[in-house]
Amino acid sequence: MEYHCPNCKSENIQKVEIIYKSGTSNTSISTSAYIPGSWNHKTGFTSGRTVYGGGVSSSQTLLAKRFAPPSRRIPRVGLSLLMMVVIFCTIVWCGVLVYVTTQFGHHMDPRLNTMEIHQRVKKDIIQMIEWLIIPIVISIFCQKRIKVTQQWNLTVYPQLYDEWLKSWVCHKCGYVFQNDSE
Ligand SMILES: [Zn+2]
């Protein structure tokens, strides 16, 4: 393989992966700071004190941020789930409505005959189907979008990650290039 930058021929090149890994660290930090004393006209100089602090910090150098690997896309399933809940609730609601109309229609309105009850049930079911068209269409659209995202993760993402693994950067001219021979 070539050990120099194809742009400026400098040998000061480094693998992007190494830059990323060496520039990303999870460190537990403990800090202390000394606060100097101050002048007080009665007591003279008060003594200074030291304050302590600390925590865990994940830090990345700017260079590491710039050369971060590509990330997978997260499928957005929220709207799809919502539509499924809407479809489910609509069917349950319609089922209850049909059940109540067929079982108790005569009690609620004694003038209704069996044929009229059947017509009511038919009307309810048609209305339900009409109403369901909207969430079903949105749901199909969501599923397609999720499929596209999953497909991207399966086909495009590995390529991008592979390109990232093969990427080198020149510290002299900043040129980023791929080295396929390794
Ligand atoms: Zn260069």
| pLDDT tens per residue across span 109-159 | 788 788 888 898 999 999 999 999 999 999 999 999 999 999 999 999 999
Please check the confidence at residue 37 and state whether its pLDDT lies above 70.
no
Structural domain spans, the chain: 1-13+68-182
From the number of C-beta atoms within 10 Å of its C-beta (0-12, 13-18, 19+), residue 87 rates as middle
Please check the confidence at residue 49 and state whether its pLDDT lies above 90.
no
| pLDDT tens per residue across span 152-181 | 999 999 999 999 999 999 999 999 999 876
Please check the confidence at residue 61 and state whether its pLDDT lies above 90.
no
End-to-end, the C-alpha distance of the chain in Å comes to 7
159 CA from centroid of ligand 1 (Å):
25
161 CA from centroid of ligand 1 (Å):
23
What is the model's pTM? Answer: 0.62
60 CA from centroid of ligand 1 (Å):
24
Helix axes 16-23, 114-165, angle to 10 degrees: 100
* The dihedral sign for the CA sequence 114, 119, 124, 128: positive
Please check the confidence at residue 56 and state whether its pLDDT lies above 60.
no
Secondary structure of residue 82 in the 3-state scheme: helix
